[in-house]
Structure 1
Amino acid sequence: MDIFWFIPLHGDGRYLGSSEGARSVDYGYIRQIAQAADRLGYHGVLVPTGKACEDAWIAASSLLSATERLKFLVAVRPGLMAPSVAARMASTFDRLSGGRLLVNVVTGGDPHELAGDGIFLNHEERYEQTDEFLAVWRKLMAGEKVTFTGKHLRAEESELLFPPLQDPHPPLYFGGSSPAALNIAADHVDCYLTWGEPLADVAKKLDEVRALAEARGRKLKFGIRLHVIVRETEEEAWAAADRLIRHVDEGTIAEAQRILARYDSVGQKRMADLHKGDRSSLVIAPNLWAGIGLVRGGAGTALVGSAESVAARIEEYRQLGIETFVLSGYPHLEEAYTTAELLFPLLPLNAQARPPAASIEAVGELVAYNKRPDPRVRSQSGGVANEAVPQAGR
């Protein structure tokens, strides 16, 4: 599997829905997160998009020279970009980064935000436009000269003069839960992304997409977007989850849910249905917690628990066919380290190139300045030898 992290271009902090413990997300901070993810062995980072974020393409481009192997999952926006412009941006980024671009296709689900950007299409029309956009974009990236007349887009002898490094184009990632979105995935993309839901719901959705793709003679990869709160014990992890929303009051929840209710995104509605704005019933499956969705749009669930429990839940998703896990945690800098240090040793990760060792292997601080501490040896079950492994929490 590949593990991704997240660049919080819309803000970060220790608590949700509060200015308490908030951080300024400037270049220095996102560079720290990107460099940490690069050094720790994350496969890539998701760079979010939308009016609440700094611009994803500029931010990702600024981080190229600060990283070495890290891949960047950056959004193209049908309706906001012409396919030819998006193709030039993607091709340039791919070449200048040495093939480190992944493309996230984002149709958008908030009619209010879309209207502010000059898009007045309804849900179905936006997916029609996305279908046309990707038809043109993929042909351009493959080196074709494109003349196209569709319901929403038109191009005459459009071409891309400088091809991408990856052949035929950087991999396309895409998420959406409506029937229109599933058909887009089956027709065009390389990796279909879902948000974190209980296993049975995820399995059903993946089976639908898989069948649609197979009917077209295509085979997709699958990924999932989740937050994560992993600690050494179950108790520590659930206490951290409670702390994360400690400053969220009922008025803040009500206002957040009112805003999110205007979305015509099927995926957003599915996220809201998991908790229904009720903070008393946030545990929706073993180690799966919907507390983040009380005030955050988009991905609203987190895996919460000990490293062993979270690794077990990830393995269950992997058995469904998911290979890419896009994770995040608050605050993103510290949680990048915590997640990698506790979770990575328990996961079957794809090999990730590491920089040459600048010093001897990390062993922690020397005991009394003279003796290396004994290594913690993990048992075959994944726990630490001679330590009790807590059972899955609430």
Structure 2
Amino acid sequence: MSLTFHWFLPTNGDSRHVVGGGHGSPATASGRDRPPTVAYLSQIARAAEDLGFTGALTPTGAWCEDAWLTTAMVSQNTERLKFLVAFRPGFVSPTLAAQMASTFQRQSGGRLLLNVVTGGESHEQRAYGDFLDKDDRYRRTDEFLHVVKELWQGRTVDLEGDHLRVADARLTRLPDPVPEVYFGGSSPIAGRVAAKHVDVYLTWGEPPAAVAEKIAWIRRLAAEEGRTVRFGIRLHVITRDTSAQAWAEAHRLLDGFDQETVRSVQAGLARSESEGQRRMLALHGGGSRDSLEIHPNLWAGIGLVRGGAGTALVGSHEEVAERIKEYHALGIDEFVLSGYPHLEEAYWFGEGVLPRLRTEGLWAHPFREEAGQGTPPQAPLAGVGR
């Protein structure tokens, strides 16, 4: 199977420094040099499309712009790129969500992927009027996905669940194709929901041994449901012509972290209810500069000031390609990547790493090669090397 790569739309702002936010931590004001305008986000999306990324993840939360509205506007400035829209069940009815997804598919030409985010922070959920505890939010997600997927198949749904009720629900127009569902979660109840419903299970960038354990866990649960699941991983990337250049960039980012901000963000993240966030915090061990490389070329420095995905692949293009192959050998087929700033880093990865994977038969440009156009032309960004 050819590897699939997705990029990221920084709807909380972008910079040459790390912009924080997520899992209850606010977006850090320092370094938000590029506001998340439709024009700038469209520039990133067009670059990702040209370079060969299949899709782009748009996050959700109080710390960023709304994912549905933003991607609806950005999609009009691209042609083939898909949008992995992060969406929290429970804020709208499952019937309306199914209808929204169906409309998005028609208006975008079938370019929606749905990233279901249950929500790991009760205080943020309450700000949106959701007062369920964490386990009940996952039980509601279970009911929500049951209704949505039945509606997408053209069935009429009646459900009187513990958290959701619908009667005689149906869609007059079905999505074509049916959007694939992406989902992440490290708690036991999250694993059971994933096994029952999702197409792609996402993990954050933990060391390979931990990722292998997660894959085995979800595969076992999915087999008990009579299903199979694909696997993806969410990582940042810092890739350069040489390893020294890449690590110099990582250290530059680290030098830009204000220590008071680090202490404040870490204190906030320590209160998170998310098992995945707890695992991210455990990786950097308090933030000593010498302890942040937790596996060859896997750096936990991003997690000092950012909630959610907190690790980055750092190294030469060859080294980053080798780490991708290492994760692929475990069963990871999809990579959801990002880097600061997102426009330039997309070119570093797209022109430095993807051609190496293509040469080894592990990746093909999803838009050009299917049309028989062969190797895509190089269009380097000014000031960015290959």
Give the TM-score, by structure 1 length.
Answer: 0.89
CA RMSD across the alignment: 1.8
1:353 is aligned to 367
Deviates more, 1:96-105 or 1:322-331: 96-105
2:12 is aligned to 10
CA distance in structure 1 between the aligned counterparts of 2:72 and 2:216, rounded to whole angstroms: 36
CA distance in structure 2 between the aligned counterparts of 1:362 and 1:313, rounded to whole angstroms: 24
Q: 1:220 to 1:356 in 2, by over 3 A?
A: closer
Aligned pairs for 1:205-284 within 5 A: 205-280=214-289, 281-284=291-294
| 1:275 CA drift (Å) | 1.0
| 1:121 CA drift (Å) | 1.1
Contact 1:274/1:290 (CA < 8 Å) preserved in 2?
yes
Contact 1:232/1:306 (CA < 8 Å) preserved in 2?
yes
Contact 1:254/1:277 (CA < 8 Å) preserved in 2?
no
Given candidates 77, 91, 100, the residue that maps to 1:66 is: 77
| 1:31 CA drift (Å) | 0.8
Given candidates 118, 141, 162, the residue that maps to 1:130 is: 141
- 1:19 maps to 2:30: yes
1:369 is aligned to none
Instruction: State which structure, 1 or 2, has the greater radius of gyration over its C-alpha atoms.
Output: 1
Secondary structure of the residue aligned to 2:220 is helix
Aligned pairs for 1:374-389 within 5 A: none
Code of the aligned partner of 1:259: G
1:391 is aligned to none
Cα displacement string for residues 103-134 of structure 1 (whole angstroms, at most 9, x for unaligned residues): 11110111111110111111111111100111
| 1:249 CA drift (Å) | 2.7
Contact 1:279/1:294 (CA < 8 Å) preserved in 2?
no
Code of the aligned partner of 1:303: L
Code of the aligned partner of 2:211: V
Code of the aligned partner of 2:328: R
Secondary structure of the residue aligned to 1:13 is coil
Q: Which one has a larger percent helix, Structure 1 or Structure 2?
A: 2
| 1:363 CA drift (Å) | 8.8
| 1:197 CA drift (Å) | 0.4
| 1:39 CA drift (Å) | 1.1
CA distance in structure 2 between the aligned counterparts of 1:162 and 1:27, rounded to whole angstroms: 29
Q: 1:223 to 1:362 in 2, by over 3 A?
A: closer
Give the TM-score, by structure 2 length.
Answer: 0.90
CA distance in structure 1 between the aligned counterparts of 2:380 and 2:269, rounded to whole angstroms: 45
- 1:113 maps to 2:137: no
2:209 is aligned to 200
Contact 1:253/1:277 (CA < 8 Å) preserved in 2?
no
- Name structure 2 gaps, 5 residues minimum: 19-27
Contact 2:266/2:305 (CA < 8 Å) preserved in 1?
yes
CA distance in structure 1 between the aligned counterparts of 2:220 and 2:13, rounded to whole angstroms: 38
Give the length in aligned residue pairs: 362
Q: 1:178 to 1:353 in 2, by over 3 A?
A: same
Cα displacement string for residues 202-237 of structure 1 (whole angstroms, at most 9, x for unaligned residues): 000110000110111101100000000000101000
1:186 is aligned to 195
Contact 1:102/1:170 (CA < 8 Å) preserved in 2?
yes
| 1:53 CA drift (Å) | 1.0
CA distance in structure 1 between the aligned counterparts of 2:378 and 2:96, rounded to whole angstroms: 46
| 1:312 CA drift (Å) | 0.4
Contact 1:76/1:86 (CA < 8 Å) preserved in 2?
no
- 1:300 maps to 2:310: yes
**Percent identity at matched positions?**
53
Cα displacement string for residues 171-204 of structure 1 (whole angstroms, at most 9, x for unaligned residues): 1100000011111110000000000000100000
Code of the aligned partner of 1:134: L
Q: 1:364 to 1:283 in 2, by over 3 A?
A: closer
CA distance in structure 2 between the aligned counterparts of 1:311 and 1:230, rounded to whole angstroms: 9
Give 4+ residue runs of structure 1 displaced > 3 Å after superposition: 360-365
Q: 1:33 to 1:361 in 2, by over 3 A?
A: closer
CA distance in structure 1 between the aligned counterparts of 2:380 and 2:306, rounded to whole angstroms: 37
| 1:250 CA drift (Å) | 2.2
Deviates more, 1:344-353 or 1:323-332: 344-353
Q: 1:87 to 1:111 in 2, by over 3 A?
A: same
Q: 1:18 to 1:80 in 2, by over 3 A?
A: closer
Q: 1:153 to 1:361 in 2, by over 3 A?
A: closer
Q: 1:254 to 1:148 in 2, by over 3 A?
A: same
Contact 1:289/1:301 (CA < 8 Å) preserved in 2?
yes
